[in-house]
Chains A and B, each alone.
Chain A
Amino acid sequence: EVLLVESGGGLVPPGRSLRLSCAASGFTFDDYAMHWVRQAPGKGLEWVSGIAWNSAGIGYADSVKGRFTISRDNANNSLYLQMNSLRGDDTALYYCVKGRGAYYYFGMDVWGQGTTVTVSS
C-alpha cells in the first residue's frame, strides 16, 4: 500500500521559513515524480511544485517561484519543500502527492493526509 506521511507544518510569522517533509513507502520511490499541492481553508486545490524522479525536472507555481524549493532524497524515500519568505496567503493544508510517472507532467495519483501551515503574527 502506498503511504505518504507529511510533517513539518506549524504556525510561523510572516517572512519566516519552514521546511516540510514527506516520508514515502509502499512503492519504488525513485521511479516516480512527486508533487506538493496545497489547499487554503475552505478553498480549492492549488498545485505548488513538482519534481522528476531524478530531480532533473522541477516546476513551480508562479505564486511560490523564488520563495519555495522542492527537493527529494531517493536514498531515504523522502520529499521536501523549503518555504522561505512566507506570507499570509501561504496558509494552507499542504499535501504530498505521488506522481503517475517518472516526470511531473504525467500527473498525480495517491495523496497523503497533509500538514497544516499557518502564517500569522
Chain B
Amino acid sequence: EIVLTQSPATLSLSPGERATLSCRASQSVSSHLAWYQQKPGQAPRLLIYDASNRATGIPARFSGSGSGTDFTLTISSLEPEDFAVYYCQQRYNWPPLTFGGGTKVEIK
C-alpha cells in the first residue's frame, strides 16, 4: 500500500498570501495524484487530477505540480473561501486508492 504524507499538518496564512502544500508518496505514483478541498460540514471537492490538471470550475489560483514521489499544491493568493482542509490521493497502485492525512489551511 502506498502511503501519502502531507506537510505541514497546519498552515497559518493571511488572505492574499501564497500557500504551498506538500504531498510525498512512499513510492512512485507517476503523475497519478489528485488534490481535494474539504470545508467544514461539506463533502470534499476535486481540485486537481493527474498532478497538474485543474478540475472543471476550479479557479486558476489553484495549481498542482510534481511527479514520482513529490507533489505540490499551490494557491497563488488565498481568498477567504480557500481556508479549508486539503487532501492528496493516489490512484497509481490499487487497491487501495489511498489518501494523505490532510493539511489544514487556517487564517493567521
Interface residues of A (CB under 8 A from B): 35, 44-47, 50, 59-62, 95, 100, 104-114
Bound CA–CA A110/B49 (angstroms) = 12
B89 within 8 A of A: yes
Cβ–Cβ < 8 Å partners of B46 in chain A = 108-110
Specify which of B32, B34, B97, B102 is in contact with A104 (CB 8 Å cutoff).
B97
Residues of B within 8 A of A (CB): 1, 32, 34, 36, 38, 43-46, 49, 55, 87, 89, 91, 94-102
- B38, B44, B96 pick with most chain A CB within 10 angstroms: B96
CB-nearest residue of chain A to B46 = A109
Which residues from B are CB-within-8-Å of A35?
97
Determine which of B34, B43, B49, B99 lies in contact with A44 in the assembled complex, contact meaning CB atoms within 8 Å: B99
A44-B102, A45-B44, A114-B43 known; A107-B95 Cβ under 8 A: no
How many Å lie between the Cα of A77 and that of B102 in the bound state? 32
| Complex contacts, B45 vs chain A, CB 8 Å | 111
User: Total A-B pairs in contact (CB under 8 Å)?
Assistant: 62
Bound-complex Cα distance A91 to B1 (A): 23
Structural contact, B96 and A107, CB atoms closer than 8 A: no
The residue in B1, B95, B98 that gathers the most chain A C-beta atoms within 10 A of its C-beta is: B95
Q: Assess the B95–A59 pair: CB atoms within 8 A.
A: yes
Distance, CA A108 to CA B36, complexed state (A): 10
Chain B residues closer than 8 Å to A45, beta-carbon distance: 36, 38, 44, 87, 89, 99, 102
How many whole Å from B58's CB to the nearest CB in chain A?
Answer: 11
Evaluate contact between B99 and A47: CB separation under 8 angstroms.
Answer: yes
Complex Cα distance A73/B30, Å? Answer: 33
Q: How far is the CB of A94 from chain B (nearest CB, A)?
A: 11
Q: Which residues of B contact A62 (CB under 8 A)?
A: 1, 96
- In whole Å, how far is A67's beta carbon from the nearest beta carbon of chain B? 15
CA distance A112 to B102 in the complex (A): 20
Contacts of A44 in B (CB 8 A): 87, 99-102
Q: Which of A61, A107, A113 contacts B49 (CB 8 A)?
A: A107
Identify A111's interface contact among B44, B100, B102, CB under 8 A: B44
Q: How many angstroms from the CA of A111 to the CA of B47 in the assembled complex?
A: 12
